[in-house]
A and B are shown apart, each in its own frame.
Chain A
Amino acid sequence: MTSNLTHLQQLEAESIHIIREVVAEFDNPVMLYSIGKDSAVMLHLARKAFYPAPAPFPLLHVDTTWKFREMIQFRDRMVQESGFKLIVHVNEEGVARGVSPFTHGSALYTDVMKTEGLKQALDRYKFDAAFGGARRDEEKSRAKERIFSFRSANHRWDPKNQRPELWSLYNTRIKPGESIRVFPLSNWTELDIWQYIHLENIPIVPLYYAAVRPVVERDGMLIMVDDDRLELKPGEVIQHKSVRFRTLGCYPLTGAVESEADTLPQIIQEMLLTRTSERQGRLIDHDQAGSMEKKKQEGYF
């Protein structure tokens, strides 16, 4: 809040403060690493918070088995470079049942592979705090969420009964089995994230940059054919287009945008000139009004 710090310096300091507070007050924290740009920034901030020591918590990736292949490669590279311990969790029950975005629909699939998978992992390792890279500018129910967001033993969020959160004094107290989701990037906007990546030279998955990629048009979105599990429906043809992604998730559910932007400034330029919000590229939000709030109540990050 000091006049001689730029707004990015202020955001950075706030995030580092939050990350350190978690380490000081929780026994067993974990950082959810989704491999996207927000995770990249969060991981960078975690390194900064504890430099020259390594960050004293592991990363957790809930792998739905449908991530872009380049994401997985990038993840493994980042883990090697940063020295973090990585835990990869797959909901094996879901895999055994053959749950996929094609056969079960995006809602059920996300619920089983992402939400259930996350809960399983948190329960198995008994994490009492989990960092997530969500921002308040992403969605209207996230705009309402605390930085330290309480979860019951069943991982439920109660939006009508959140703890007051004053100054930078975070209430970290929980009972056994309960946990806190911590969002160090709460006050960052999409532009802040990009600008910080630009200023700090933070590596991101190449899928954010435009390149010619094989895509099909489906439900009004451009879906990348990332492997041979994507079966073409009647009338669909694979096209090669210069595309990039504004957010990254499971490839069958993530829409690409046509773009030539292959440098960071160009990406930022494009982002500033577009008139749609980044979550539009995600299928799950469209399923029903208030769906994000509902998912969050049920334990989705």
Chain B
Amino acid sequence: MAHQSELIEKDILAYLKSQEEKSLLRFITCGSVDDGKSTLIGRLLWDSKMVFEDQLAALEADSKKVGTQGGAIDYALLLDGLQAEREQGITIDVAYRFFSTDLRKFIVADTPGHEQYTRNMVTGASTAKVAVILVDARKGLLTQTRRHSFLVSLVGIRHIVLAINKMDLIDYDAEKFKRIEDDYREFAEPLGFSSITALPISALNGDNIIEKSANTPWYTGPTLLRFLETVQVEDDRAEQPFRMPVQWVNRPNLDFRGFCGTIAAGIVHPGDEVRVSSSGLVSRVDRVVTMNGDLDEAVAGQAVTLTLKGEIDISRGDMLTVPEAAPLFTRHPEAHLVWLHDEPLRPGQLYLVKSATGITPGRVTDVQYAVDVNTLEQKQVTTLGLNEIGLARLELDRPVPFDPYRENRDTGSFILIDRFTNATVAAGMVSEAVELESHKALLADLEPESGSTWTRRISLSELSATSLNVVDLTAEYGAFILEAPITLLAHLEKGNRVLFRLRDLGQLPAVALLAYEHNLAFEFDRTLEGISVLLFKRGNLPQDRVESDTGTGI
């Protein structure tokens, strides 16, 4: 932090003002194990004078005790803060470090290279805008280099620094450097990065990190720090159509009803029309409320509270958008999945899907393909195991608003959570919504969930005469068998129609069984709340409805 020390000493207020204007860049280091990621960041912190005296003293002592440099300063120890990491000399989990220069503030996530800890690498990458991919100059590209590159492209990082490290160990050989750079560009071509900048460095000695190295006169590009300070990361979120997932409804009293959330894209003003994703209803923004006073405008990235002019039903799980550009609102997203857990994906099993709008139960119905990270080729698989990446189709219990991930990281992402262990098992990035017709999910849904051996019986005998026309089962979870009393059957026999409301498809067999046993017909409908099934005696069906019955019923 010695940079602006003169200004700090002379005019602290001016300094603080200049700090306020700084932009923030989040980046990661990644690449194969031992390629020098932690050393690089340690060196960067060291050279930008972010290491305090007491930390230095601790570092010197640690380097003697557990360092990999025979007692000389081991910069990686500034990052590898866990006991287990120091004992093994590797990074296990991502470390977040902070530094700043005159031009920018930085949050760097130093990620582990070891394949076993890929989930921690993805954690760091998910919020980064630039990736520094390290390669050991002696070894060239390795599987992990490729895996990380693919993951980095998948999570939407557009700018790559290819840091070819340990140049000191190959005598700063320009030709070897060039060969690795060429290899990488060829491999990364299909990944479509906006920029790839190759740098010859030595993390250990500090070559081309902050200052240009005399050891590489043949290299004319920027130093690492210079690049990070000046790279333009496109962020067009503010120019995109407005979206705000409703995180919390703030209702302290009857006079105030505010919708709290973080704006995921676009701009909002009082008076703007907004559409509710679940109902399609449109209202107008009344106020943009903050504790520092109402705003005339709020933009992507801000956490705000909106009040609306009309009273319409909105809750957590909804997304407010401009009416002209509604999000996907689907039960069937198709998405890239990165599997993060030792236990492989079980297609058909119920998981919890957490997206920007909350938690929805859902299943992966099938895996389209997995990607071989070395060749980027697609291969046919039926499931995904630890660290595998593929394209999959999901079926959610109710429709959820999404945008394609390439358009918006916040509204296009989700995680899968195991219902029993609560572990985060996968990261998902929505590519599109799948048309229901082309979807072969039904069979998987109709199979009883593995593990459950008994099925609940629900007796409908408690139904009173007045409620005979609607049987609401949306409060029930999971499959069941229905027991219909004589009164209900007689009611149907007389030509009355009874509407069954269900929570999910797994409950359909119960109604179908009822229809089968009592020779009834039914009409199937998918609604916002779930599923509606209308049961009736066929002879009584109005003529004009006969056709619609044939296609959608099962």
Residues of A within 8 A of B (CB): 1-10, 12-14, 16-17, 20-21, 23-25, 47-54, 136-137, 139-141, 143-144, 159-160, 162-169, 171, 173-175, 186-187, 189, 191, 195, 198-199, 265-266, 268-269, 272-277, 280, 289-290, 293-294
Min CB distance B220 to A, Å, is 29
Pair B105/A2 contact, Cβ less than 8 Å: no
List A contacts of B414 (CB < 8 A).
Answer: 169
Min CB distance B175 to A, Å, is 38
Chain B residue nearest to A275 (CB atoms) is: B53
CB within 8 Å of A: which of B236-281? Answer: 237-238, 247-248, 250-252, 256, 258, 260-262
List A contacts of B165 (CB < 8 A).
Answer: none
Min CB distance A59 to B, Å, is 18
The reply on B511 being an interface residue by CB < 8 A is no
Chain B residue nearest to A19 (CB atoms) is: B303
Pair A49/B303 contact, Cβ less than 8 Å: yes
A137 to B305, CA, bound (A): 30
The reply on B313 being an interface residue by CB < 8 A is no
Pair A265/B16 contact, Cβ less than 8 Å: yes
Pair A54/B20 contact, Cβ less than 8 Å: no
Supply 7 A–B pairs (Cβ within 8 Å), ascending by A. A13-B301, A16-B303, A52-B291, A141-B82, A173-B352, A268-B12, A289-B62
Contact residue among A54, A195, A293 (Cβ-Cβ distance under 8 Å from B81): A293
Q: Given A159-B82, A163-B423, A275-B53, A6–B413 Cβ distance below 8 Å?
A: no
Task: Give how many B residues have a beta carbon under 8 Å from the other chain's beta carbons.
Answer: 87
List B contacts of A272 (CB < 8 A).
Answer: 1, 5, 8, 15
Interface code B121-134, partner A: CB below 8 Å = 1, 0 otherwise?
A: 01100110100000
The reply on B299 being an interface residue by CB < 8 A is yes
A274 to B127, CA, bound (A): 31
Pair B424/A163 contact, Cβ less than 8 Å: yes
Min CB distance B242 to A, Å, is 13
Q: Which 8 A-B pairs have the closest CB atoms?
A: A140-B81, A53-B252, A7-B24, A16-B303, A173-B422, A51-B291, A166-B126, A277-B52
Pair B260/A6 contact, Cβ less than 8 Å: no
Min CB distance A181 to B, Å, is 16
Pair B96/A143 contact, Cβ less than 8 Å: yes
CB within 8 Å of A: which of B78-106? Answer: 78-79, 81-84, 86, 92-98, 105
A293 to B80, CA, bound (A): 12
List A contacts of B65 (CB < 8 A).
Answer: 289
Min CB distance A10 to B, Å, is 6
Min CB distance A31 to B, Å, is 16
Pair B107/A52 contact, Cβ less than 8 Å: no
List B contacts of A7 (CB < 8 A).
Answer: 22-24, 105
Chain A residue nearest to B93 (CB atoms) is: A144
Pair A195/B8 contact, Cβ less than 8 Å: no
Most buried by B among A169, A265, A280: A169
Add 14 more A-B contacts to A53-B250, A280-B52, A290-B86 (CB < 8 A).
Answer: A2-B300, A4-B238, A17-B247, A20-B247, A20-B260, A160-B92, A163-B424, A164-B427, A169-B354, A169-B355, A173-B422, A195-B20, A269-B12, A272-B15
List A contacts of B250 (CB < 8 A).
Answer: 50, 53
Chain B residue nearest to A165 (CB atoms) is: B123
A176 to B487, CA, bound (A): 43
Q: Given A17-B303, A51-B291, A2–B237 Cβ distance below 8 Å?
A: yes
Contact residue among A12, A51, A136, A159 (Cβ-Cβ distance under 8 Å from B305): A51
